[in-house]
Structure 1
Amino acid sequence: MNSAVALLTVFGLCVRLSLTVQVGLSNKVLVFPYETDFSFVALVPQKELELRAFTLCMRVATELPEERQIILFAYRTADYDELNVWREKDGRVSFYLRGDGVFFHLPPLTTFRTSLCLTWDSHTGLSAFWVEGKRSTYQVYKPGHTIRPKGSILLGQDPDKHLGDLEAIQSFVGEMTDLNMWDFVLSKSAIHAWNNGHQVPKGNIFDWATIEYELHGNVMVVDDD
């Protein structure tokens, strides 16, 4: 399927792709084996992403060199990138809320799995990344902002415009698992618990065990051995 057609009409028009929606990835890993401009996973949220706070967590591993930009999470409405998470070309990790982003110096992503969380609260603007349960310094970013609903969420690719325009050089290559998202900021103790594999409140936007998703291109689902 052509990449632009595959990514398609989903943005802004709320038209479902004619692919099978699958449910649940408990004890599974998404493997993105190599660079493409057509492989991605579309996620179906449990509720619309009209957010004034959130926590996003995932476990990720990659062999890509630090100077290679990587998209880790992309949420786009018809006209804007509402929430994108990146590893930048200089190795920093960043996220963007409809405009200029905010950048963090974190331990590098490597071939060994990294537990990564991101928290943001519109009321204060406080944002931070958490790596292996340890918090970065807070940065104040876009207090008063609201993330808008009725968009589409992708793993593995960055949709640069309404109909796609995917680029292989930005694609994710590696493994992702245990992606969960909440519409509030998890406590420090809850993030520590998630990092250690203990029970936490189920993600009310995405819960890995019950997540709804569509596979496109050459993404593989494998057992988390």
Structure 2
Amino acid sequence: MLVWLLLWLSGVWGQTDMREKLLAFPVESSTSYVRISPDRIDQYSEASICMRFHSNLTRQYSLFSMSTQSKVKAFALYYDPESNNEFLLSVSDSSQVYTLQGNDFTQWTSLCATWNSSVWGLFINGKYYKSDLVPNVRISGDPCIVIGQAQNKHCGGFNELESFVGEMTDINMWDKALTDENMMDYFADNEMSGNVINWKALNYTLHGEVTIKPYVDPYPCVEVI
């Protein structure tokens, strides 16, 4: 009973099957976020992240932030609608900027980001944005993975004006670059489980006002462009 109480007070819920659940970020804050413990801690020479989300925010915000002791933006996804509707994909403190077209993130959106030594890319509801001339980078060191805030230092430095407000679900990460077919499978609602972050067996800690809610349609069908 004491152990359960301590876990509840700390916000640690352990490994949980999150199917039919979502993460709700109700307010702008510098203290509300989810810390995820990866299933694998290793050096990465390629990786991918997929998620579904929606938000009514009209300012910049972070969707995914992984840092190490040496690289604040080891792997990060950042949206900036105020600057030409741009999306930033950062790996090992290097970034590629993608100018989006006609995206409405107020509706449920399916997103995948992937990178390796030759190609970095975003799939947003099936639309592909990619860069072929990319730096050959690696990620090494103990990762700190945060959802809902941008890390401006390792595991911290949060700014409420970069915080996410909205809902997320179906977050998975792999230690490989997904193929186009893999990502189209994700958009087609096939249940794909990551080997670094697995939504069906998620190790996480809630902080601040983030809550878990039921999701009546855990794999929303989105139109593939």
How many angstroms apart in 1 are the aligned matches of 2:155 and 2:89? 22
Gaps of 5+ in 2: 1-8, 217-225
From 122, 145, 153, the equivalent of 1:153 is 145
How many angstroms apart in 1 are the aligned matches of 2:128 and 2:41? 27
How many angstroms apart in 2 are the aligned matches of 1:153 and 1:176? 15
SS at the partner of 1:158?
coil
Equivalent position of 1:121 in the other structure: 116
Change (3 A) 1:140 1:211: farther
Gaps of 5+ in 1: 1-16
TM-score, structure 1 as length reference: 0.84
**1:62–1:109 Cα contact (<8 Å) kept:** no
How many angstroms apart in 1 are the aligned matches of 2:11 and 2:56? 30
Q: Verify: 1:95 aligned to 2:102, yes or no.
A: no
From 160, 174, 180, the equivalent of 1:168 is 160
Equivalent position of 2:52 in the other structure: 59
How many angstroms apart in 2 are the aligned matches of 1:120 and 1:73? 15
How many angstroms apart in 2 are the aligned matches of 1:191 and 1:24? 22
User: Which amino acid in the other structure matches residue 196 of structure 2?
Assistant: I
Q: Verify: 1:104 aligned to 2:123, yes or no.
A: no
**Which segment is superposed worse, 103-112 or 17-26?**
17-26
User: Which amino acid in the other structure matches residue 101 of structure 1?
Assistant: S
Q: Verify: 1:78 aligned to 2:78, yes or no.
A: no
Q: Verify: 1:31 aligned to 2:24, yes or no.
A: yes
CA displacement, residues 148-199 of structure 1 (integer Å, 9 cap, x when unaligned): 1302100011221246221100000111110111111222222111111114
SS at the partner of 2:200?
coil
Equivalent position of 1:141 in the other structure: 134
Equivalent position of 1:10 in the other structure: none
**Which segment is superposed worse, 77-86 or 155-164?**
155-164
Change (3 A) 1:100 1:198: closer
Change (3 A) 1:19 1:218: closer
How many angstroms apart in 1 are the aligned matches of 2:183 and 2:215? 21
TM-score, structure 2 as length reference: 0.84
Q: Verify: 1:217 aligned to 2:203, yes or no.
A: no
How many angstroms apart in 2 are the aligned matches of 1:157 and 1:21? 20
Change (3 A) 1:218 1:48: same
How many angstroms apart in 2 are the aligned matches of 1:155 and 1:213? 10
Q: Verify: 1:195 aligned to 2:187, yes or no.
A: yes
Cα shift at 1:109 = 4.4
CA displacement, residues 120-155 of structure 1 (integer Å, 9 cap, x when unaligned): 012x2x111001123224343212x11113021000
SS at the partner of 1:136?
strand
**2:144–2:155 Cα contact (<8 Å) kept:** no
How many angstroms apart in 1 are the aligned matches of 2:154 and 2:113? 26
- Identity within the alignment, %: 29
User: Which amino acid in the other structure matches residue 146 of structure 2?
Assistant: L
Equivalent position of 2:6 in the other structure: none
Change (3 A) 1:105 1:49: farther
**1:79–1:161 Cα contact (<8 Å) kept:** no
| 4+ long deviations beyond 6 Å | none
Coordinate RMSD, CA, aligned:
1.8
How many angstroms apart in 1 are the aligned matches of 2:154 and 2:78? 19
